[in-house]
Every structure is written in C-alpha cells, then in structure tokens.
Amino acid sequence: MKQAVASKQAVGNEGATGGKTAGDRVLIFDTTLRDGEQSPGCSMNLEEKLQIAQILEEMGVDVIEAGFPIASKGDFEAVQAVAAKVKAARVAGLARATRRDIDRAAEALKGAAGPRIHTFISTSPLHMKFKLQMEPEAVHQAVIDSIGHARNLCDDVEWSPEDGTRTEHDFLCRCVESAIKAGAGTINIPDTVGYTIPEEFHALIAMLKNRVPNIDKAVISVHCHNDLGLGVANSLAAVQAGARQVECTVNGIGERAGNAAMEEVVMALRTRHDAMPYHCGVKTELITKASRLVSAITGFSVQPNKAIVGANAFAHESGIHQDGMLKNAETYEIMTPESVGLSRSKLVMGKHSGRHAFKAKLEEMGFRLADNEIEDAFVRFKDLADAKKDVYDEDIIALVDDAVLRHNDRLRFLSLQVVCGSKGPQTAELEMEIDGETCKAKATGNGPVDATFAAISQLFPHTASLQLYQVHAVTQGTDAQAEVTVRLEEAGKTVNGQGADHDTLVASARAYINALNKLLVKREKTAPSVMSA
Ligand code: KIV
Ligand code: ZN
C-alpha cells in the first residue's frame, strides 16, 4: 500500500491555501466515525458511516478517521468502505501499538486514495503503570517499533501519546522525537481525559516546539476531550502555539463528554480571524447539514442552546434583541445563519403545502436527501399535517430524523393499537417487520407503554434492559409531536433509540425498535482491550 509522496500530496486540501500562507493552514481531522462512535449509546452501521463520510468529504475536511479496524468486523468493513469511496480527503484507521492492529488497519485502508495509519500508546505514568503495566522503556521501544512497522505499510503515519497532557515532559519529548525519527509525519497530542486548560495546553505545545529537535519535520495535531467543557478552547490555544491539525467531531460527540466540536472550531477560526489568523478548508455552509445528519443517525439530539448548530443559535427572544436585529443584524449576530447553511426565510408548512414546497423547506433547513427519502418524508409530513394544523421546523426535523434514516434497519415498526385508561388491563397489539417478514403480537402490561414494549419483546426476544425512557414534546400544544428516547443496556453496551410521532405510544414503539436496531449493530463490536505490546 506504500504510496508515492506525490499521490500523498494530491489527496486532502493541504495544498489549497487560497492565497494565504501554507503555515497558517489548519488541517481538520474529523473523528466523528471513530471517537464520535465511541460515545456511550452510539452505534452506526456501514451505510450510515458512508453517508457521514460523504458529507465530510464534501465539506472539505482534510482527514476522516473512519474507525478502528481491529475492533470488529463491522469496523473493519466500514473503514474499508469509506476508504474505497472517499477521494478528496485522507482516510485514517486507528491502531494500537501492535503489529496485529497495524496490519489490520493497513489492510482496511488498502483501497484509499490517501491512507493514514494512526497508531497510539499511553505515555502517562498512570496509564503505563496501571493500564499497560509496562515500564517507560518498553513503551518507548513500542513507539519506535509500531511506527517503523506502520511506515513499512503506509507512507502517512500519525502517532498519539495517549493521555499526553498528563505525561511527564521529558518522556513526552523523548517519545515525540523518536516517533518522528521512526517516520511519523503527524504527532497528535491528545488531552484524553479533558483535563488541561487553555494556557497550560498552549505552553505544552510551545514546549514541544522548543525542545524536540526534529519537531519541524512533523505536523503537530491536537485531540481535546470536553470533560471540563474546554475542548474547543484548548484546541484553539494549541493552534495559537503552533499546532496545525485539530481533531474534532461533528456536534462534539465522542467518549464521555465528547470531543472538540468541529463546527465550533471552524466557525471560531472564521469569525475571529482577526485574533486567530489561521484558515482551514471547511465549507462552513455545509455545517448545518452535517450536524443534522449526525444527529439523526446517532439519535443524539443537539441541545437547543448549542453553539453554531443548536436550534436557538440564531434565534432572538427578547424584544430588545429583536428590535436591534431588525435595525442591523450585526447588533446581536456575530456570524450569519447563511454562513453555516441556514436560511433566514421562514416558509410555514401546513396541510395544503405540496411536494414542491416541502422539498424547498427541506433544502432551506439544510437537509440533503435523495428523492426516495424526500418521498418517504413527504408521506409522513402529510399524515402529520392532517393531524396537526401548523407544522413547525422542529416537527420536520423530528420527522425526517425518524422517517428517512432507517433504511438498513432489520426491525421496522408497522402499526400499533393500544387499549388504555383507568379500567385496565392495558393491552397493545403490534405489527412489526423483522428481516422483511411481518409479525404480530398482543401483550398486556402495567400501563400502555409497558404493554407496547412487552409486545415488541414478544416478537423480538432479547436480554437488554431499559435504562431510560424519556418523552419530549417537539413543539407546544396538545397536538405536538412526541419525541421519545429509549436507552437499552445489554452486556455493558448501551444504545439510544429515538422515535417521533404525534401519538406518544407510536413514538415510544418506534424509539424502542430503533434502539434494538442499534443494539444489533453494536452486538457485533467487541471493545478492544488494553494492548499488550
Ligand atoms: O482520546 C484519545 O486519547 C484518543 C486517542 C486514540 C487519540 O482518542
Ligand atoms: Zn479521544
């Protein structure tokens, strides 16, 4: 798979400086498909990963980390499929510092136009002693050996000292220097546990630049987790100290509290170019589309007040703000909705809205759907508009999320009839499709939701336990759609399912079935254990 250096430079946007100096270029490394998928409760199937990879490529992301090939057959196949499809971005596969992991990553990346092996090992005293149970000397040797092996298989190798921000400086410098000598072209410093603060992280990157003699032979990258809510701030501080690659995820999803949010990093660089004179190649106008796609696929809704992509990010509630906005939008808006792919016009939808208006509305809201998906969503929209006078943007988001992105599901909701009320017993009659076959069940329960879930379990027996059942009204009014979240747990694996409908019980059934579909994907994944080098 060794690639000529010329082809390496042809992939990704490294060369596209748009008249600015190459030194100011910040590479965007998106790890939504790898670290993002490690979010508790998250799982994506191959088709969903391809959809996300496609929009990331369109956005102009430089590197797409597609997965951890050794983790499971599903991960391997997803990396392979993304590698085969993506042409304009480099595709990375993660590997621990073992030959087996690295071989598997190289194998999965074979078809990539620009493959990258990303290998890592812990370097902090805590991780080396308790997690790896390895002496620092052995870890240092594993760094050299793993990178040497990876370089025999791939020209582009990235190395990460896991728990980098809690690593002793002398040891970090020694490992970084050896990693570069062994052939790593990118040195990624992870704040694995989201512990650092901006000033400290700035100083750490500056220290590496000052003390590692061969540091100018590699790109410095950063990978910040958000446990203290500082992922983006730390990433930007690192850029100001000389880092030129930022690892991030759409909507900030990822392990625990997540990773630095890509949309925040990118919009901060764009909006505050005066203070941070760096640029990246991301087309910010695709941010909303990417955010909605990731939210719909993962079932992780975006909090309304989330920066850049939250439903309220460009909404103005107070009279003073609205008045100011009417006079001059800049009074309360530091970036325009259009710059992230939102439109200012507000088409109101109702039962008389036709297919054409619906399509225009989807486009205005940043959805990018195939014709058959638009048709599916339109059918659901018509049903909803019959039951509900005004259809709001939030309704359409819930509907598209629920109706469109379920193509590969093995289990499908068909119909539900429930008897409920104070006289009991509450019963549910459910019709479901399992692997293409229609099946029916009738169950009683302690309330209508319990009866509905019991009917699902009758048709699809499983051992998962219900961890969370949450109902949220998408809009106001008694005819509002219900958006239900169901969290299931099985053998330490959790998944979140979502469903929306103007009937709360139908939404509940959809959410439960969605969670089971995600569990089926997740069952195939085995968490890679701590490495032994
Ligand atoms: O957070 C972390 O340390 C990681 C590494 C694998 C880069 O995700
Ligand atoms: Zn991480």
Q: Of 120, 146, 187, 253, which is best to mutate to test ligand 1, by the most ligand atoms within 8 angstroms of its C-beta?
A: 120
State yes or no: pLDDT of 347 exceeds 70: no
Strand 90-96, strand 27-30: pairing: unpaired
> How does pLDDT run across 46-93, given as a tens digit for each residue?
988 999 999 999 999 999 999 999 999 999 999 999 999 999 999 999
Instruction: Identify residue 52 by its one-letter amino acid code.
Output: I
Distance 159 CA to ligand 1 centre (A): 10
State yes or no: pLDDT of 136 exceeds 50: yes
Instruction: Identify residue 312 by its one-letter amino acid code.
Output: N
Coil, helix or strand at residue 250: helix
List the residue whose alpha carbon is closest to atom 3 of ligand 1: 192
State yes or no: pLDDT of 493 exceeds 90: no
Distance 257 CA to ligand 1 centre (A): 13
For tokens 């709360």, the residue is: 504
Of the bound ligands, which one is closest to the alpha carbon of residue 167? 1
List the residue whose alpha carbon is closest to atom 8 of ligand 1: 35
Residue (of 222, 305, 296, 299) closest to 265 by Cα position = 222
Q: What is the pTM of this model?
A: 0.82
Q: What pLDDT shows up at residue 6?
A: 33
**Range 335-355 average pLDDT:** 80
115 Cβ inside 6 Å of ligand 1: no
Of the bound ligands, which one is closest to the alpha carbon of residue 164? 1
299 Cβ inside 6 Å of ligand 1: no
Q: What does the alpha-carbon distance between residue 483 and residue 500 come to, in Å, rounded to a whole number?
A: 4
Q: What pLDDT shows up at residue 3?
A: 39
Q: What pLDDT shows up at residue 301?
A: 83
162 Cβ inside 6 Å of ligand 1: yes
> How does pLDDT run across 223-251, given as a tens digit for each residue?
999 999 999 999 999 999 999 999 999 99
Whether the bond into 425 is cis, omega within 30 of 0: yes
State yes or no: pLDDT of 15 exceeds 60: no
Q: What pLDDT shows up at residue 62?
A: 98
**Residue 424 binned pLDDT confidence (cut-offs 50, 70, 90):** confident
State yes or no: pLDDT of 186 exceeds 90: yes
192 Cβ inside 6 Å of ligand 1: yes
**Range 474-495 average pLDDT:** 83
**Residue 14 binned pLDDT confidence (cut-offs 50, 70, 90):** very low
Q: What does the alpha-carbon distance between residue 328 and residue 322 come to, in Å, rounded to a whole number?
A: 10
Cβ atoms of residues 182 and 148 within 8 Å: yes
Average pLDDT, the chain: 89
Of the bound ligands, which one is closest to the alpha carbon of residue 187? 1
Distance 222 CA to ligand 1 centre (A): 10
Distance 166 CA to ligand 1 centre (A): 13
List the residue whose alpha carbon is closest to atom 5 of ligand 1: 162
226 Cβ inside 6 Å of ligand 1: no
User: Which two structure tokens, joined as six digits, stand for 82?
Assistant: 């993304």
Least confident among 8-17, 101-110, 358-367, 471-480: 8-17
Percentage of residues in the chain having pLDDT higher than 90: 64
**Range 284-299 average pLDDT:** 90
Cβ atoms of residues 475 and 469 within 8 Å: no
Q: Of 30, 31, 32, 35, which is best to mutate to test ligand 1, by the most ligand atoms within 8 angstroms of its C-beta?
A: 35
- Quick one: which atom of ligand 1 is closest to the CA of 247? 7
State yes or no: pLDDT of 13 exceeds 60: no
Of the bound ligands, which one is closest to the alpha carbon of residue 221? 1
| φ, ψ (nearest 5 deg) of residue 374 | -60, -40
User: Which two structure tokens, joined as six digits, stand for 50?
Assistant: 């391809």
190 Cβ inside 6 Å of ligand 1: yes
